[in-house]
Every structure is written in C-alpha cells, then in structure tokens.
Chain A
Amino acid sequence: MLETRTAFDPVTYAEAAAALLGLNLDPMWIAPVTANLRVLAAAAELVEDFPLGDEADAAPRFEA
C-alpha cells in the first residue's frame, strides 16, 4: 500500500478538486461526496495493488 493513501483527507481533496474543476460544492454535499470518494479510493487501491507489466497497454476502447 502506498504511504500517501493513509494520509488521504477526502474533505480537503474534494474542496481542492472542486475548485480545480469549477464545481460549486455545497457544504451539504461534502459528506456524501467524500463518502463516495472513499469508496472510489478503495476501488483504486484494489486495482493498483495488482501488478501489471509496462507492456500492458490500456484498453480505452474495448473491442470484444
């Protein structure tokens, strides 16, 4: 696990990201948005913990 993950502060992050994205983050929305950010962070951690070689190209457009 990356050390930075343990220092993740979703409220600070959400407020900074909202400013970057031009989103008006109503104070009432901070709790549900950060709850979703925690879920997404956990999902990202699960994916990042899986080793992939440098040759594993992305599949931005999936073709079955």
Chain B
Amino acid sequence: MTANDSRTAVTITAAIASGQATARQSVMGSLERIGRLDGRVGAFTDVLAARALARADAQDAALRGGAVPGPLAGVPFAVKNLIDIAGLPTRAGSKINRERPPAERDGALVRRLEAAGAILVGGLNMGEYAYDFTGENVHDGDAHNPHALDHMTGGSSGGSGAALAAGMVPLTLGSDTNGSIRVPAAFCGCFGLKPTYGRLTRAGSFPFVGSLDHLGPMARSVTDLALAYDAMQGPDPDDPVAAPRPAEPVLSALESGIDGLRIAVAGGHFARGGDPEAFAAVARAAAALEAERRVELPEAHRARAAAYLITAAEGATLHLDRLRTRPQDFDPAVRDRLIAGAMIPAAHVERAQRFRRWYRARVLEVFETVDVILAPATPCRAPKGGQTHFVLDGVTLPVRANIGVFTQPISFIGLPVLAAPIRLDAGLPLGVQVIAAPWREDLAFRVARHLERTGVSTAPIAELS
C-alpha cells in the first residue's frame, strides 16, 4: 500500500486484515504526507515517527503470528495536544505548560484507540488552553485551512481538522467545550462528534472548563467516526464525570436509515445572525432528510450568554495562579479574557448555573416530540486567517467571540452533536449540527450516515500538491 489520498480507516483496516498491506506501510504513508505538507498546514506540533513505526512493526509481527486484527488495525491517528502523550509535556497549546514534566502515560482515549489497533503518529496544534474558535496560536504558529491556506481552520481543535482535511491521517481527537470540535469540522469540511457530556472519558487530558469539557473523534467518514467512537466508549474511574454506563456501540445500526425518525430544524436563535449560506447548508440537509418541521430551543441566546459566563469564570479559576505569576507568557487574547473572567461576581456565575438547569429541562421537553434537531455549525464559512471582525446580518462583530454562536447553546447542556460537512458549491465547506437527546448518539450517527450516503455530506481531501 502506498500513501493514498482517499484512505479511510475502513479501507486501511480492510487492506491489513486481508494481508494486502501492513501497518508499517500505513504509518509510512501518513508520515510521508505529514512531512511533505505540514510545513504549510501547521497541523502538527509533534510527530512521533519512531514510536509509531515501532508500534506498527509490533502489530505486523503479531498479525503474522496469527493475532486477530483490531477494528482499527494499522489506522494512523493524531490527537489535540491537550491529550497526554507519554514522554511529552502536555502543552495544551500554551508556552507555560511546556515546562511541565512529560506525561507518564498516554491519555485514556489514546490507550483505548491503540488497544483497538490504531497507531498514534503525533500531537496536533490548538488554540492556547482551548480558549479559542480560530485555530490560531501565537506560540506554535497558526493552523491553516487545507482547503484555502489563507483561511482559518477554526478552533480550538484546529490541527485536528486540518490534519484530516490535508489527508495526513484518517482519524483525530479533539476537545469541545463550546464548539471546538464542531467549528473546525465545519470550516475544514470533516465530520466531528461531540458526544453526550460524560460519555467519553477525559482522563489524561488538560482541562479548560470542567463542567463543559468533552473529548471526541473527528474523521472524514461517518463509519470511521463510528469505529473510533465505539472503541473509546465505556466508564472510567479516572474521570469523575465519565458516566458509569456500558458502551452502546453505534456501528451496527449505522445503516438503519432514518425511517421513523422525527427530524426537525432549529428555528429562532439558530435561524438568524448568520450568512445565508449557513442556513442554506441546513436547508440542504433538511431537504435530504425530508425534515419540514421547525422547533424552538427556548432562550437559546441566553443559554449562549450563560455558557460564556461559566466558561470565562471556570477557565479563569483554573488558570488563576498562572495569571498571577506569569501573565506575560499567555497569548494576550487569552490572558485578557481570563483576567476578566476571574473578576466576574460569583452571583453572575451562580445565576448562569441556575439558568442552565432551567434550560436543560425545557430542551429535554422538546426532545419528547422530536428525535433529531438540525442547526448550523457556524454562522459563516471559515474567515481569513487573522481576521478580527466579520459582518453577520448587517452587523459588524468580533470573530473570536461569535464563531460559536450556534454551538454554545448545545454543548451548554451536554447534548450529543455530530457535525456533518456540507459543500454548497466549490467554495469553502460549511457544517450542520445533527443534535440528539442525551445518550442518543446512535440517532445522530444514523442521520449523518444518511446525509453521507445520499451525497449531501462529503469530506474530500483538500487539493494540496
């Protein structure tokens, strides 16, 4: 097997299981593409060639000895650099964290993916401490959108989206506190899953906002996303919020179709304040799903505001000692927001948490009559790199604070969301959020698979020579 731009996890595992390829060839193909393209893309902060090849050789030897290949056998993957990688300090996109001692072992999700046969090839660029929607990083350099290198990847899991769009790996991990998987998935044109809060363990990752943090997979096909998701599920005593529920695999039901599913489009907050193209992407998905109903998530704009407050306050609390002792070592844009966040009166944060309880109850009532809700992932296509303001609905707004306008009200109450890429034309991609009730990731997967099967949702690799 050679480096094949169209490779997916499914094709790789099939080739390895049939003996047509080796894990070493798979990893070599990935490393070759990273080496050739990453100077322009900036997706990776660490490439683990020696480790990956050693794992590949061990896997090939085991397979020659009669071992049964795992469901992700020989699949190269990479992780946002807030997830622990044994032997490296977990930098979380920061300068300060590089002085931490190297992680003693891999993060829990890395271990679970490698137990399924996948092979880690590197750590990925991200916005500092995950407080970011752009994919820009003053310490490591910005990640660039492979579909248009002068545009943002979106963030904060910018490298996770860019590595997929550039075809460097078929699978990445990101984190999502307010939209940090869904935004780069939309801007880079790939699939991303923010699972139900508590579904996937976060053990061995650097936090941002404990009550909002999620980890999740990103991929270029729904089946690849499902393979990774299934391999990572299950309780974990090392993460206090990981739910004590057994794995509920989605792969076997992926081809079940959408018959009987009640699918609606989110109105109100989710139908204004964005470019017409963002809503056109949702309309295209809705048409393919024959979803004609519209539902309202009540007070979603207030939910966004409450998420904003909780994020600023919790994030600032996490970093307060570093803000006291080394403020000059932060990205200024992050530092200024964290300092302000440290100053929020407790009464404001407590009010936001009380509102959170109310909002969750109202949204769960909506899910009594609907199974899946569609909403835009972002209000626009990827802005230009370094762009600070954009115009939405005739209003000039700061980019950083407003890219997550449609993602924040969803993650605020931990709902599972699968971001599916939509290409309206030859321009940059957009994304649609496929939102389900808590613990019903399976429904979001079935809907996304239908969109993919009907050609409405596609994730081609960028044309980079």
Contact = CB atoms under 8 A, between A and B. Distances in A.
B301 A46 contact: yes
A21 B320 contact: yes
B309 A56 contact: no
Interface in A28-64: 29, 32-37, 39-40, 42-44, 46-48, 50, 52, 56-64
B197 A33 contact: no
Contacts of A24: 324, 327
Nearest to A17: B343
What is the interface of chain B mostly: helix, strand, loop, or mixed?
helix
Given A29-B339, A36-B336, A63 B351 contact: no
Nearest to A29: B336
A47 B313 CA distance: 15
Contacts, number: 123
Interface stretch (B11-19, B170-178, B225-233, B354-362): B354-362
A17 B340 CA distance: 9
Given A36-B337, A48-B351, A50-B302, A59 B308 contact: no
Contacts of B336: 29, 32-33, 35-36
Contact of A56 (B196, B337, B358, B401): B358
B198 A50 contact: no
Given A32-B336, A64-B414, A43 B327 contact: no
Interface residues of A, number: 36
A47 B348 contact: yes
B302 A64 contact: no
B308 A43 contact: yes
Given A60-B211, A62-B197, A64-B415, 6 more contacts: A32-B336, A40-B340, A47-B305, A50-B302, A61-B211, A62-B211
26 contacts: A18-B339, A23-B342, A24-B327, A29-B327, A29-B339, A32-B332, A36-B312, A37-B343, A40-B312, A40-B341, A44-B345, A47-B302, A47-B305, A50-B299, A50-B358, A52-B351, A52-B355, A56-B354, A56-B355, A56-B358, A59-B354, A59-B357, A60-B353, A62-B212, A62-B414, A63-B414
